[in-house]
Amino acid sequence: MSDDGNQDEFEYEWPSDDGGQNEEDESEILLKNTFYEADENKKTRPKEALEQYENVVLLEEQMGEEINFRFKALENIVVLSAQLGLHQNMINKQKNLLKLINKVARNDVSDAINNILDAVATHLTSNPDSQREMYQMTLEHLKSNNERLWFNISLRLGKIYLDLKNYDLLDNLLTELKENCRQQNNSNEYDQSKGNLLLEVFALEIQMCTATKNNFRMKSVYPQTLNLNSVINDPRVLGIIKECGGKMFMSEKKWDKALEELFESFKNYQESGNSRAKTVLKYVILASILSGSSINYSGTREAKVYNDDPQIIAIMNLRTAFENNDINQILEILNDKNSQILDDPFITQYLDDLLRGIRLNVLIARVKPYKSVSISFLAQQLNVSKEEIRGLLAELILEEKIKGEIDQLNGYLELGSNETQGSQKNVAMTQWAKTLVNLHQQLIKKLPQ
């Protein structure tokens, strides 16, 4: 009996205030379970997940100031709201999220903002006003809290302005970004420690110049990037800059310079895994045709991966036909819909230059055996008008690629050496002028002094 009494004496008794601890544990368990259930539902049942994330925010707010799940839940609420077209809810919850950015890790802030803006870019393409509001609201909060993230988001907004062709807003944004890159004690000098950021700003400005065909401004901006290229090696950005630079030189018909820049762009795109590499390779081959380069750029180490691509094969066939002076083959390739060459607006800009180049080469080959050849015959051979043939022949004569003169009256091209035809007339005219000078001097001597 005494033993039994001792057992009763040592029975464990729970503290009287234990109920509060149980309630706290239950709240934490409910919070975690709700959050993880929402994570499981967000892909297949987004509306249900949205409600669960909303509950997570409310539950954690009731538990105090500590942030464990609330920030991530708000991120998911904003993304799901964008996905479901709940734009006002998206904006309101983004405001709540931004109030917490000083209370969570910078990496978490960066990941959340980028995920949200990816969703905005994907789901709000038809609502540019909401897109712009999300960006501007986010940028206002970030400028004083996270300068690097502010800069990156500003660049993303700039690309949206570029896509929307809103060049006024883009221009204002570029001015603000450049000011951010200047030295604080000297507003006229850029801070070289921000060279990588500045290069991205110039890349965006150069894209705007290309889109607006503002070559005057482009010539001012482009040289500034060259000073940064030597110290900054970001193939993702350099690919854009070099492509735009190559297009600038193409518009000026500086084929050799364009070829150099476009090939550099291609290599940078290839290095960074950018899908524009193939497109720019086509531009490289086009520039190589127009410049008369003998280098086979499709055979370079970087380009070999595209050797079996139908579009690259088509433009290489165009180059081969050009080298063979086969104008009929060129027209056949251009008119082949499978080649997709004429689907590219940039390439079509230079078709006239391409056809002019092949016609000049064909003309040189056609007139070579003759001393005199009919302009009508040449027009028939090249399937162009007699007026165009006269223009092409005049160009070849001026550039001294053929020696001869055009007989406009009889419609013939007369060919010969420097001592015949037009050259003989030039010699005669020079001699006649000298004779007139001598006669003039003799007359002056005979006048009374």
Distance CA 138, CA 2 (A): 75
Instruction: Check if the beta carbon of residue 340 is closer than 8 Å to that of residue 314.
Output: yes
Query: How far apart are alpha carbons 150 and 210 in whole angstroms?
Result: 26
Kindly state the tokens that stand for 319: 């180059």
Q: What confidence tens digit (pLDDT) does each residue in 50-74 have?
A: 999 999 999 999 888 888 899 999 9
CB atoms within 10 A of CB 345: 7
pLDDT at residue 1, rounded to an integer: 46
**Cα–Cα distance for residue pair 411/407, rounded to 1 Å:** 6
- How many helices (H) and strands (E) would you count in the chain? 21, 5
Cα 362 to chain centroid distance, Å, stands at: 36
Q: Say if residue 321's pLDDT is above 80.
A: yes
Helix (H) or strand (E) holding 373: strand 372-374
Cβ distance 94 to 116 under 8 Å?
Answer: yes
Structure tokens at 25: 């544990």
Q: For 80-96, what is the mean pLDDT?
A: 94
What is the mean pLDDT of the segment spanning 298-320? 89
> Which domains does the chain possess?
28-145 (1.25.40.10), 366-440 (1.10.10.10)
Q: Which residue has the higher pLDDT, 17 or 346?
A: 346
Q: Is the pLDDT of residue 110 over 70?
A: yes
pLDDT surpassing 70 at residue 365: yes
Using pLDDT thresholds of 50, 70 and 90, give the confidence band for residue 218: very high
Q: Are 344 and 282 in contact (CB under 8 A)?
A: yes
- CA-CA distance, 401 to 405, in Å (whole number)? 12
Predicted local distance difference test score (pLDDT) of residue 382: 83
* Identity of the residue numbered 306: Y
When mean pLDDT is compared over 71-75, 339-343, 357-361, the highest value belongs to 71-75
Are 127 and 164 in contact, with CB atoms under 8 Å apart?
no
Q: Give whole-number Cα distances, 282 to 175, 291, 337, in Å.
A: 34, 14, 16
Place of tokens 């150099």: 260
* pTM as predicted: 0.72
367 within 8 A of 402, measured Cβ to Cβ = yes
DSSP, res 102: G
Position 446 confidence tier, pLDDT thresholds 50, 70, 90: low
CB atoms within 10 A of CB 384: 16
Which of residues 363 and 20 earns the better pLDDT score? 363
What value does the mean pLDDT take over residues 323-339?
84
The pLDDT, as a whole number, for residue 14 is 46
In sequence order, what are the residues at sequence separation of 6 or more whose Cβ sits closer than 8 angstroms to the Cβ of residue 372? 412, 413, 414, 415
Measured in residues, the chain has a length of 449
- Using left for φ > 0, alpha for ψ between -120 and 50, and beta otherwise, residue 292 falls in left
Q: Which range is least confidently modeled, 181-190, 195-204, 288-297?
A: 181-190
CA 54 from chain centre, in angstroms, equals: 40
Using a 10 angstrom Cβ sphere, with 0-12 exposed, 13-18 middle and 19 or more buried, the burial of residue 60 is: buried
* Least confident stretch, 114-123, 358-367, 429-438: 429-438
Handedness of CA 254, 259, 262, 264 (dihedral sign): negative
Share of the chain above pLDDT 70, in %: 86
Q: Mind giving me the DSSP string for 405-417?
A: EEETTTTEEEE--
Residue 252: closest CA among 318, 341, 344, 350: 350
Query: The tokens of 384 are what?
Result: 């162009």
Average pLDDT, the chain: 84
Query: If DSSP codes are grouped into helix, strand and coil, which group holds residue 69?
Result: coil
> What confidence category does residue 411 fall into, taking pLDDT thresholds of 50, 70 and 90?
confident
For 412, which DSSP code? E
| Helix%, strand%, coil% for the chain, nearest 5 | 75, 5, 20
